[in-house]
Amino acid sequence: MMALMRLRMPRDDGDEMRPAEFWQEEERAALGEMRRQLVKWLVVFAALVCGAMFVIWWAGSTVQFGAARAEGRGAASYRLFGVVTDAETGEAVPFARISDDGQGPPPHFHAMADHMGHYELNTMAERHMVVVTGLGYAATQVRVGRAWYSWMPSGEERVDVRLKKE
């Protein structure tokens, strides 16, 4: 009933209602379709602008990371954390040393585990080796980092290390 009332237009000469003419219905339909298309195009345009801004940010981050790495002054942007334990007993290895392997390009970072074997090492995001040592234990090398460092040069990874006694 409401739809029928919407299609009727008031006359200029009184209260009488008459059905809308074909051209008036088509004008309303065209106006509604134009509004829907405008909203769709605005959403597409906003998505394209956001995508372009993301690509510009990503490219800048990658270039900064690569340039800093080439100069040997890269900032640690990758968080490595975990627990160092004894391979046989599973007990914590207190004050173990966790450090970047000296074979890779500088800078090299290192950290010490606490009395419960927990450690946190801020290092480079690229794939590389980390050496874990503890008093009375053989050194162990662990591969860390992500292959995606070149497009998202940050992140974190949990690596629990089990050391064997010497």
Q: Tell me: the pLDDT tens digits for 90-144?
A: 999 999 999 998 887 777 899 999 999 999 999 888 888 999 999 999 999 999 8
Strand pairing class (128-133; 97-100): antiparallel
Q: Which residues contact 132 (CB under 8 A, 6 or more apart)?
A: 84, 96, 97, 98, 139, 140, 141, 142, 161, 163
CA distance 140 to 122: 18
Residues 155 and 77 in one domain: yes
Place of tokens 């090492």: 121
What value does the mean pLDDT take over residues 7-12? Answer: 52
What value does the mean pLDDT take over residues 12-38? Answer: 81
Domain containing residue 119: 73-163
Cβ–Cβ under 8 Å, residues 161 and 132: yes
| Cβ-based burial of 91 (10 A; exposed 0-12, middle 13-18, buried ≥19) | exposed
Q: What is the mean pLDDT of the chain?
A: 84
What value does the mean pLDDT take over residues 4-14? Answer: 51
Q: Does residue 157 form part of some domain?
A: yes
CA distance 62 to 138: 37
Q: Does residue 32 form part of some domain?
A: yes
Residues 80 and 66 in one domain: no
Residue 71 confidence class, pLDDT cut points 50, 70, 90: confident
Indicate whether 10 pLDDT > 80: no
Q: Does residue 57 form part of some domain?
A: yes
pLDDT at residue 139, rounded to an integer:
94
- Return phi, psi of residue 78, to 5°: -130, 125
pLDDT at residue 80, rounded to an integer:
92
**% of residues, the chain, pLDDT over 90:** 49
Residues 52 and 96 in one domain: no
How many domains, in total, are found in the chain?
A: 2
Q: How many CA atoms lie within 13 A of 29 on its CB side?
A: 8
pLDDT at residue 3, rounded to an integer:
46
**% of residues, the chain, pLDDT over 70:** 84
Is the backbone peptide bond immediately before 153 cis, with ω within 30 degrees of 0?
no
Residue 149 confidence class, pLDDT cut points 50, 70, 90: low
CA distance 110 to 100: 6
Q: Does residue 9 form part of some domain?
A: no
Structure tokens at 72: 């040997």
Residues 41 and 119 in one domain: no
Residue 161 confidence class, pLDDT cut points 50, 70, 90: very high
Residue type at position 3: A
Indicate whether 52 pLDDT > 60: yes
Q: Compare 108 and 160 and report the one with higher pLDDT.
A: 160
